[in-house]
Chains A and B, each alone.
Chain A
Amino acid sequence: GDSVTQMEGPVTLSEEAFLTINCTYTATGYPSLFWYVQYPGEGLQLLLKATKADDKGSNKGFEATYRKETTSFHLEKGSVQVSDSAVYFCALFSGNTPLVFGKGTRLSVIA
Chain B
Amino acid sequence: ETGVTQTPRHLVMGMTNKKSLKCEQHLGHNAMYWYKQSAKKPLELMFVYNFKEQTENNSVPSRFSPECPNSSHLFLHLHTLQPEDSALYLCASSQVGNSGANVLTFGAGSRLTVL
Using a CB–CB cutoff of 8 Å, the interface residues on chain A facing chain B are: 32, 34, 36, 41-46, 49, 51, 89, 93, 95, 97-99, 101-104
Interchain CB contact under 8 A, A98 and B42? no
Within 8 A of A (CB), among B30-48: 33, 42-43, 45, 48
Interchain CB contact under 8 A, B102 and A98? yes
The listed residue with most A CB atoms (<10 A of its CB), out of B4, B6, B92, is B92
Q: How far is the CA of A101 from the CA of B58 in the complex (A)?
A: 15
**Is the CB of B69 closer than 8 A to any CB of chain A?**
no
Q: How far is the CA of A78 from the CA of B104 in the complex (A)?
A: 27
Name the residue on B nearest A92 (C-beta).
B101
Interchain CB contact under 8 A, A103 and B102? no
Contact of B43 among A41, A45, A97, A104 (CB under 8 A): A104
Contact of A93 among B45, B101, B109 (CB under 8 A): B101
Complex interface: chain A residues within 8 A of B66 (CB) = none
**With A98-B48, A101-B43, A104-B42 in contact, is A43–B102 under 8 Å at CB?**
no
Using a CB–CB cutoff of 8 Å, the interface residues on chain B facing chain A are: 4, 6, 33, 42-43, 45, 48, 56, 90, 92, 100-109
Complex interface: chain B residues within 8 A of A51 (CB) = 100-101
Q: How far is the CB of A25 from chain B (nearest CB, A)?
A: 14
Known: A43-B108, A51-B101, A104-B42. 8 other contacts (CB 8 A): A36-B104, A43-B106, A44-B92, A46-B105, A49-B103, A99-B102, A101-B42, A104-B43
Interchain CB contact under 8 A, A45 and B42? no
A-B contact pairs, 30 of them (CB 8 A): A32-B100, A32-B101, A32-B102, A34-B103, A36-B104, A36-B106, A41-B108, A43-B90, A43-B108, A44-B92, A44-B106, A45-B106, A46-B103, A46-B104, A46-B105, A49-B101, A49-B103, A51-B100, A51-B101, A89-B43, A97-B56, A98-B45, A98-B48, A98-B56, A99-B102, A99-B104, A101-B42, A103-B42, A104-B42, A104-B43
